[in-house]
Amino acid sequence: MPGINEVARLAGVSTATVSRALSGNGHVAQETKERVLAAALELEYVVSSNASSLATGRMKNVGVVIPFLNRWYYGAVIEGAESALLSHGYDLTLYNLAGGGGERTSVFEHFLLRKRVDAVIAIALELTEGEVGRLHDLAKPMVVVGGSIDGVRTLSIDDIGVARLATDHLISLGHRAIAHIGGNRASEMDFHVPSKRRVGYEQALTAAGIPIDTALFQAADFTLQGGYAAAKQLLGDPRSRPTAVFVASDEMAIGTILAARDLGLTVPDDISVIGVDDHELSEFFGLSTIAQFPALQGRMAVDIVMDQLHPGHRDLALTNTPLPYELIVRSSTARPTSRKST
Amino acid sequence: MPGINEVARLAGVSTATVSRALSGNGHVAQETKERVLAAALELEYVVSSNASSLATGRMKNVGVVIPFLNRWYYGAVIEGAESALLSHGYDLTLYNLAGGGGERTSVFEHFLLRKRVDAVIAIALELTEGEVGRLHDLAKPMVVVGGSIDGVRTLSIDDIGVARLATDHLISLGHRAIAHIGGNRASEMDFHVPSKRRVGYEQALTAAGIPIDTALFQAADFTLQGGYAAAKQLLGDPRSRPTAVFVASDEMAIGTILAARDLGLTVPDDISVIGVDDHELSEFFGLSTIAQFPALQGRMAVDIVMDQLHPGHRDLALTNTPLPYELIVRSSTARPTSRKST
DNA sequence: GTGAAAGCGCTAACAG
DNA sequence: CTGTTAGCGCTTTCAC
């Protein structure tokens, strides 16, 4: 484990010069720099990030806080963020709030305060007031992806718009009896995206002059199983069965497709279904959906954070760009068959 | 951002005493300790982990290296490891090798060398010789979960035993024409678990006096889609159709169930299927499987690492405990129906 | 362009 | 049991 001293000695310069040569801060004669680089290489020198951090106050590390890990959306955002961070030379330390135990409080009361991260990215996280306060106390760059925290830079798609687009797609195909599977109480706790999607759905119906029928709403927990159960409920009664369903997430939408099959219904002949996300399995199931691009969202979050950390790059163009989303029509949506279209 | 100095001043002691009182190292009079604690609390003091690390050489941080994130198994292992680490006061920094770009090399050549982690946990990762060398150079505690690296402490289930158990289950039900969906070349790259599972499958057949028929093997990529495609291939021809399939992972097994349905086959009447993992969706699909417990594996990896970092705890009982696995019989396996049992 | 030297904030001997 | 004092390994003024 050679230190900066050995490198300096080997290169025949002072440690200050080594530091400058290696970090790129300050000017060093080309020739000297090469000598230093060679020496560093030969000794396999790597700076001690601790010593460096202690001296500069920069950690080269950002914390990512998530409510749980094993859901496609979170994984995808993290992958995007991770690779973007790597490319900037940053580490990503993960704080998973799942586990129900003291995890949540210890993360906020203890871990995030340790001065280990330069910034924090929170993913689809609904926080208590106290937690928000803690985060503000950090006085560090912070961005929220897919959720919202008062007074914090937020990166999220227009959930109302997304829902309206999905619903409009169904309406434009000729559907009128359009159901909605959305979030339940529990899922609201961590991100109140569900209610926005419901609002969008209702707006679209209203705009089309279709009355809102609360019997056509079912709550679920954003899992495939939850979607399945909700769909069974919704589609089970032949007398009240809708011709289409807008489901608030692809995982639930896949559950819906499965439920339809188990009920002997054909998608899309008997029932059209559209989701949100463009989950990795959606193509496989032929699911029409509104794609959002979580990996991109992760990358954008990193861009914003980097921009705050190193003003100067100023790609601030993206600062208020709305996040993209896109209608993807596959085989799960079609015109209602004549026998059912009213 | 008060430092240890202000705390010392407020408590009327030296910084050394503050350090001792707060870290628990060395003895401090009860009364003094309380004064220090009170002062720290009042000032909302938190140690600078950098300064502390620089002084002690301990980072309170472990690196977790994974080939990709969005697969159930990885997520589950990480969750287990993460919560165990938190409870020990450690951070978890994530190194995701996915992305195909320079990620992989930069992680090994750069990030892991930064002296930021006290230990590394690699999950189901097959490494090149050079990478293994790099890791050894670190001279840090290291454990591999569900994979194998020469000369490194490994934590993995008995894949051959698992496969044999699954296959035996099928045999004991009366099946003789048992197919296997296993890994393909690409999946071998990151963990050669697949070949072990195939070996176990073959051992079980041989032990039961059933000849091995290579036509009953299909390779896939460990995704649901891959399993679906492989199963279509395997089950499509009514003349050569097996009565049961042992699938090397639950995700592929679910694909198999879906394929069977699409072929008009009933599970388990026409075809029994059993997987490996006990994926979160397996219960939903009624999939019989051999459960492994990834979260537990993550936790155990942390225990081992902690034990190496802080000798003294010595829970070394676990050091060579084989990992548990368990046959879970659901509705996807049953006796072959008489018309098909040869 | 380069070197000397003063820290960054804490911990760990070593005394007392 | 507690205080003094050297560092931990780097970065960064400030001179030259």
Tokens of B174: 């009366």
B280 interfaces chain A, CB cutoff of 8 Å: yes
**Inter-chain CB proximity A284 and B224 less than 8 Å:** yes
Residue numbers in A near B53 (CB within 8 A) = 50
Residue among A225, A258, A231 nearest A245 (CA): A231
- Bridging pattern class, strands A142-145 and A119-123: parallel
What's the mean pLDDT in A325-329? 98
Interface residue of B69, B92, B110, B138 to substitute, partner A, most A CBs within 10 Å:
B69
Neighbouring residues of A169: CB distance < 8 A, sequence distance ≥ 6: A274, A288, A327, A329, A333
Name the amino acid, one letter, at B34: E
Helix, strand, coil fractions of chain B, as percent rounded to 5: 45, 15, 40
Higher pLDDT, B307 or B339: B307
- Which among A105-119, A275-289, B114-128 has the top mean pLDDT? A275-289
- What confidence score (pLDDT) does residue A341 get? 41
Asked if residue A74 and residue A37 are part of one domain, the reply reads no
Query: Which residue among A50, A89, A102 places its CB closest to the CB of B50?
Result: A50
Answer yes or no: is A322 within a domain.
no
Q: For residue range A92-105, list pLDDT tens digits in order.
A: 999 999 877 788 99
Answer yes or no: is B320 within a domain.
no
Asked if residue A245 and residue A305 are part of one domain, the reply reads no
Asked if residue B265 and residue B119 are part of one domain, the reply reads no
Asked if residue B273 and residue B170 are part of one domain, the reply reads yes
Domain CATH number, residue A187? 3.40.50.2300
What's the mean pLDDT in B308-313? 79
Confidence of residue B304 (pLDDT cuts 50, 70, 90): very high
Query: Which residue among A68, A115, A281 places its CB closest to the CB of B48?
Result: A115
Return phi, psi of residue B3, to 5°.
Answer: -105, 180
CA angle B73, B74, B75 (to 5 degrees): 95
Neighbouring residues of A143: CB distance < 8 A, sequence distance ≥ 6: A119, A121, A122, A152, A153, A154, A155, A301, A304, A305
- What confidence score (pLDDT) does residue A315 get? 57
- Decide if pLDDT at A6 tops 80: yes
What separation in angstroms does the CA of B153 have from each of B136, B140, B144, B145? 12, 12, 6, 9
Q: For residue range A11-31, list pLDDT tens digits in order.
A: 999 999 999 999 999 899 999
Asked if residue B170 and residue B79 are part of one domain, the reply reads no
Residues of chain B with pLDDT > 70, as a percent, come to 94
Answer yes or no: is B193 within a domain.
yes
Asked if residue B140 and residue B197 are part of one domain, the reply reads no
Mean pLDDT lowest among A267-271, A273-277, B58-62, B100-104: B100-104
- What confidence score (pLDDT) does residue B191 get? 63
- What confidence score (pLDDT) does residue A132 get? 87
Asked if residue B197 and residue B253 are part of one domain, the reply reads yes
**Inter-chain CB proximity B86 and A281 less than 8 Å:** no
What separation in angstroms does the CA of A300 have from each of A91, A121, A293, A323, B120? 16, 11, 11, 9, 28
Residue with CA nearest to C5's C1' atom: A16
Confidence of residue A148 (pLDDT cuts 50, 70, 90): confident
Q: Find the helix or strand (DSSP H, E) in which A182 lies.
A: strand A178-183
Q: For residue range A56-83, list pLDDT tens digits in order.
A: 999 999 999 999 899 999 999 999 999 9
Domains in chain A, number:
3
Domain CATH number, residue B19? 1.10.260.40
- Decide if pLDDT at B197 tops 80: yes
CA of B16 to C1' of C12 (A): 9
Query: Which residue among A83, A92, A106 places its CB closest to the CB of B86?
Result: A106
Answer yes or no: is A321 within a domain.
no
Residue with CA nearest to D13's C1' atom: A16
pTM of the model: 0.94
CA of B138 to C1' of C10 (A): 25
Q: For residue range B55-95, list pLDDT tens digits in order.
A: 999 999 999 999 989 999 999 999 999 999 999 999 999 99
Nearest nt (C1') from B45 Cα:
C9
Mean pLDDT lowest among A60-74, B34-48, B131-145: B131-145
**Inter-chain CB proximity B50 and A46 less than 8 Å:** no
Q: Mean pLDDT for chain B?
A: 92
Under a CB-based contact definition with an 8 Å cutoff, are residues A216 and A180 in contact? Answer: yes
Answer yes or no: is A261 within a domain.
yes
- What confidence score (pLDDT) does residue A191 get? 63
- What confidence score (pLDDT) does residue B316 get? 55
Asked if residue A279 and residue A188 are part of one domain, the reply reads yes
**Inter-chain CB proximity B69 and A75 less than 8 Å:** yes
**Inter-chain CB proximity A96 and B79 less than 8 Å:** yes
- Decide if pLDDT at A190 tops 60: no
Domain span at residue A145 reads 61-157+294-310
**Inter-chain CB proximity A50 and B106 less than 8 Å:** no
Interface of B with A in 216-255 (CB under 8 A): 224-225, 228
- Decide if pLDDT at A340 tops 50: no
- What confidence score (pLDDT) does residue B212 get? 97
Confidence of residue A47 (pLDDT cuts 50, 70, 90): very high
Confidence of residue A286 (pLDDT cuts 50, 70, 90): very high
Give the residue on A whose Cα is nearest the Cα of B223.
A281
Asked if residue B167 and residue B148 are part of one domain, the reply reads no
Under a CB-based contact definition with an 8 Å cutoff, are residues B321 and B155 in contact? Answer: no
Asked if residue B152 and residue B187 are part of one domain, the reply reads no
What's the mean pLDDT in B155-170? 96
Task: Look up residue A218 and give its DSSP letter.
Answer: E
- Decide if pLDDT at A322 tops 90: no
Answer yes or no: is A299 within a domain.
yes
Nucleotides of D under 7 A from a protein CB: 1-5, 7-13
Spatial distance between the Cα atoms of B77 and A237, rounded to a whole number of angstroms:
42
The per-residue DSSP string of B147-188 comes to S--TTSEEE---HHHHHHHHHHHHHHTT--SEEEEEE-HHHH
Tokens of A297: 């969202």
- What confidence score (pLDDT) does residue B259 get? 98
- Decide if pLDDT at A330 tops 90: yes
- Decide if pLDDT at A261 tops 50: yes
Residue among A64, A65, A68 nearest A84 (CA): A64
- Judge if the beta carbon of A16 is closer than 7 A to nucleic acid strand D: yes
**Inter-chain CB proximity B79 and A94 less than 8 Å:** no
Higher pLDDT, A340 or A64: A64
Answer yes or no: is A317 within a domain.
no
- What confidence score (pLDDT) does residue B199 get? 96
Neighbouring residues of B94: CB distance < 8 A, sequence distance ≥ 6: A78, A82, A92, A93, A94, B63, B64, B66, B78
Asked if residue B238 and residue B91 are part of one domain, the reply reads no
A52 interfaces chain B, CB cutoff of 8 Å: no
- What confidence score (pLDDT) does residue B150 get? 76
Name the amino acid, one letter, at A188: E
Answer yes or no: is A144 within a domain.
yes
What's the mean pLDDT in B199-207? 98
Asked if residue A197 and residue A137 are part of one domain, the reply reads no
- Decide if pLDDT at A319 tops 70: no
